[in-house]
Structures are given as structure tokens and as C-alpha cells.
Structure 1
Amino acid sequence: MKTLPRIRTEHLDLVPATVKILESDLHDHARLARLLDARVPFAWPPGGMNDEVLTEFIRMATEKTDPFFAGWYWVLDTPVAEDRVLVGCGGIASALNMPETVLVGYAVLDEYQGRGYATDAIRHLIPGIFADRRITRIVATTWPDHGASIRVLEKNGFVCTGITLPGQGLEDGTIGYMLEKRG
């Protein structure tokens, strides 16, 4: 995994997911809180971020098997907030059988959904993703009934590509979205 930039948005501090942070997420949330300088809610992790996924991320980061693998932990950090709190995460990985393409994924804890954090984070990640000259498109998949996730993608310029076929998405029956680099 290459050295990733820390990204600040109006509400979020997007902290690069190092191997140490990923291992702490898997084994020691107290250490994760220290590394992020943020409170880790009891409900952490959000849906989709289970032990199997984290173990695979750790493997990919350690073995450097995916040249595009990168991730960030999303910490809510605003002047009006009582404390810094971990609210979500997101990242990219190579899309299978699609050169110059990365797959973006993201998740937000239920209690922090509907506040624009995912839209904000993805909006700020896109320029950094496309700064890598090897990447010309970003794809994502979501379930047809996940309206909030669809809105995140559409607000960030992604275009629906339709129902994914077996082997195209993370799971059959999802719908695909794509954003291509301009210029």
C-alpha cells in the first residue's frame, strides 16, 4: 500500500488506513481509538466491515498484492462536536478484469447515516484517486434498495451501468455505477 494523504473536509478527517490501524480495528479498539485520536463507538464496525474483510485488507496491505489498494477511516471532527468520533470508512482496490479501474467501497455507522458524510468523503477522495495516472475509472456496486448509497454515488457524478452480472459486482443482483476521469 502506497503512502496515502490525510484528507480534511468540512466535517471529516480522513485518516489513511495503515497496517497498524487495520490490525487495531481487528483486534484492539482501544488502540484504534488512540491511533485515530478519536472515540470508537460501541457499534463499530459498520455493516460490511467484518473480521474476514479486515483480515483480507491486512493481507493486501502487508503483501502489497494490489497496487491500487488504499483505505481511510472517517473521523467526524468539527468545532461544534464534543469529541472526535469514528463514523465510517472507505477505500479502493483494483477491479477484477478491468485494467485502469478501481472499485470504491464505503460504510457509515447507522447512527451517522443521512448526514452527508459519505457524500463528502467520496467527493474528497475522487481527486486523489484520479491523481494516479494509471486510474481512468472508478466503479461501485450497491443494492437496488439502498437509496442512500445510490444518492452518494449520483451526487458525486457516478452513472448507473445497470444490474451486475455474475463476477462483476461484489454480489449478484447489485447495481453498478461508474465515474470516468475527465480529460
Structure 2
Amino acid sequence: MHPLLKIKTPRLELIPATTAILSADCNDRTDLGRLLSAVIPPSWPPPLLDDATRAELVSLQETGSDPNFCTWYWILDDKSGAGRTLIGSGGTASCPSSPDTVMIGYSVLDEFQGLGYATEAVHHLIPVIFRSPGVRKILATTYPDLKASIRILEKSGFVPAGHREGGSGMEEGTLAFVLIRPDL
């Protein structure tokens, strides 16, 4: 993965996580805001990014045990004067059952959902992910009732890949979506 690559989109700056940023996310909101040069809303962290998950992200970053692990913090860079605000995050990890596939996940604070930010971020992450050597597919899973998440994946070119029964890190009852590198 390209862990040091900042990504600029029309409305967002996607900042790659460092161990310091991930640790601050777990332990010190003030330091997190300083490291990201952004306001951290009181509602942080977003849904599905609980304490255990954030601790696991720190561990993955520290150990370097997953060559495809990378996560970015999504900063809304409001040019109208509201400043910079942390609104979400997303990243990748290896898919244990398929060496040419990475898994992508993302989450956005409730108050910033439905505004196209996740679609914008995922759209800009895809080319970065596919520049990684050996990566031919991106896998995403979501729950059937998370219609907005499904729509983000569809808008980003992902197609349904079936229902997951669990195992290999996938939550039971989730739907799988896949995006194959377009030059294949």
C-alpha cells in the first residue's frame, strides 16, 4: 500500500494514519486534532469504529504484519470558513483467503452521512489501492440493511459477490461486493 500518500479530493483531504495518529485516536482527542490539524467532533468515533477496532488498527500499524494495511482519516476542508473537521476514516487490509485481494472498510460520522463524502473518498482511494503490487481485487462487506453503504459501493463500481456466512474476518450475515482492477 502507499501509506504516506495524502489524497486530495474536491472536498476532502485523506490523511494516512501513522502510529502516533492511531494512538491519539485511542487515547487523546486533543492530540488527534493537533496531528490532523482538524476539529474532532464530539461524536467521534463513527459507527463501527469501536475501541477494540481502533486498538487493533494501532497493533496492525505498529507490527507491520499486514503489507496491505493502510488507513486514512478523512478531513472535510471547508473553504467557506468552517475550517477542517474530521468526518470519517477508511482503509484496507489483506484478504486472508485471496492474496491478490484487499478488503476495504470505511465509516463516516452520522451527521456527515448522506452528503456524498464516503463515495468521494472511496472513489479516490480505489486508484491508490490498485497501484499496489499484486492487487487485482478490492472486497467490501456490509450489512443488508445499510442501504447507503451498498449505494456507495455500487456508485464506486463494486458488484455483488454474494452473501457471507462468516469466517475469514467477515461478519456473519453480511453482503460481499467486489471491484476487479479494470485493466484485467
State whether TM-score is above 0.5: yes
| Contact 1:12/1:77 (8 A) holds in 2 | yes
**Percent of counterpart pairs with the same letter?**
46
Query: 1:15-66: CA deviations, max 9, x gaps?
Result: 0011100000000000000000000000000011111111111111111100
The two structures, once aligned, show a CA RMSD in angstroms of 1.2
Quote the residue 2:30 is aligned against: 30
SS of equivalent residue, structure 1 residue 114 = coil
SS of equivalent residue, structure 2 residue 133 = coil
| Contact 1:4/1:70 (8 A) holds in 2 | no
**Which amino acid in 1 is paired with 2:50?**
N
Quote the residue 1:160 is aligned against: 160
1:104-115 equivalences under 5 Å are 104-115=104-115
Residue 81 of structure 1: how far off its partner (Å): 4.5
Quote the residue 2:86 is aligned against: 86
List gaps (5 residues or longer) in structure 2: none
Quote the residue 1:177 is aligned against: 177
Residue 97 of structure 1: how far off its partner (Å): 1.1
What is the rounded CA distance, in whole Å, between the counterparts of 2:8 and 2:167 in structure 1?
35
In the superposition, the TM-score normalised over structure 2's length comes to 0.96
Residue 150 of structure 1: how far off its partner (Å): 0.3
Quote the residue 1:131 is aligned against: 131
Residue 83 of structure 1: how far off its partner (Å): 1.4
What is the rounded CA distance, in whole Å, between the counterparts of 1:28 and 1:171 in structure 2?
29
| Contact 2:159/2:178 (8 A) holds in 1 | yes
In the superposition, the TM-score normalised over structure 1's length comes to 0.96
Aligned residues: 183
Q: Report the CA distance shift for 1:169/1:60 in structure 2 as closer, same or farther (over 3 A).
A: closer
Match status 1:148 vs 2:142: no
What is the rounded CA distance, in whole Å, between the counterparts of 2:24 and 2:41 in structure 1?
14
Q: Report the CA distance shift for 1:79/1:2 in structure 2 as closer, same or farther (over 3 A).
A: closer
What is the rounded CA distance, in whole Å, between the counterparts of 1:154 and 1:46 in structure 2?
22
